[in-house]
Structure 1
Amino acid sequence: MTAPTPRYLYKLLPSDTPTPESGTLPVSNLDQQSGFIHLSTALQVPNTLKIFFKDEPLIYVLRIEYEKVEGDIRWESPDGKVGGPRGGEGMFPHLYNGHKLGSDEIESMVIWKNEGDWDHVSENAGSWLTY
């Protein structure tokens, strides 16, 4: 059985991400080292927050229409070297497009505040965090 195609993918960014001057977001160190942009599906966002952003006071969450980046997405299994095993979350979307993520790809953005843990986010994200 094949998983349904998502409508959106999500990029989580720490609050200290600089504002892009060229209309394209700066690439994180992790994305540079990996050779692609790490993205998450709506289902994967809660654990990505807990594992990689647990100490961030707030984050920016970019919503990307899957259709706009579909040709540059590779669905890959996390290797577990960073953040440990991610069992049950399936394959992760990785964007291989020369590290370009800007206004052409980003549909909308929200800012989420850390209230001691990130559990409240998926509960309060409503329809914006679309599966």
Structure 2
Amino acid sequence: MSNPKYVYKLVPSSSPVPDTPNLPERLPLSELDTASGFIHLSTAVQIPGTLKHFFAEHDKMYVLRIEYAKVEGDIKWETPDATVCGERGGEGLFPHLRNGGQLGRGEIESVVVWHRTSGSWDEALENAEAWLVY
């Protein structure tokens, strides 16, 4: 497996994430990340499944693009917990950031906002094809 250029953090709009120039030094951790002891990230290939399994009820998401080279030393590639969302076949191992919860302006390259339309994330994913790096 070759390393990706970017990994991504999906953040629901209920968690305030300012525009890229105004990012704080450290973002607050989600309840899931706090309970897990690491920050859950996704590759571009994994984003559609993550949206479907964990963010289906949200209408707006922030998507943070993180340069992999900046966090590579703190990434552990792991299989998803199938008890939470079932098997996620074909998506490979997931990047988990294990650096004590440090994710902020030093790691995040850019932020986009996606909106769910007609009960689906498909349109947002299609519109983001140029921004998502596979």
Structure-2-length-normalised TM-score: 0.91
In structure 1, what is the Cα distance between the partners aligned to 2:83 and 2:130? 32
Question: 8 Å contact 2:7–2:66 — kept in the other structure?
Answer: yes
Counterpart among 73, 85, 102 of residue 100 in structure 1: 102
Paired position in structure 2 for 1:67: 69
Counterpart for residue 125 of structure 2: 122
Task: Tell me the amino acid that sits aligned with residue 79 of structure 1.
Answer: D
- Contact kept, 8 Å, 2:67 with 2:109, in 1: the verdict is yes
Matching residue of 1:7: 5
**Within 2, Cα distance between the matches of 1:19 and 1:48?**
19
The separation in 2 between residues aligned to 1:88 and 1:19, in whole angstroms, is 30
TM-aligned CA deviation for residue 91 of structure 1: 0.3
Task: Tell me how large the CA RMSD over aligned residues is.
Answer: 1.4
Q: 2:81 aligns with which of 79, 89, 105?
A: 79
Amino acid corresponding to residue 76 of structure 1 in structure 2: E
Could you tell me which runs of 5 or more consecutive residues in structure 2 were left unpaired when the two chains were aligned. Answer: none
Normalization by structure 1: what TM-score? 0.93
Moved over 6 A (4+): none
- Percentage of identical aligned residues: 60
Deviates more, 1:56-65 or 1:118-127: 118-127
Q: Deviations over 1:6-34 (max 9, x none)?
A: 00000000001035785311100100111
Aligned pairs (5 A) from 1:47-58: 47-58=49-60
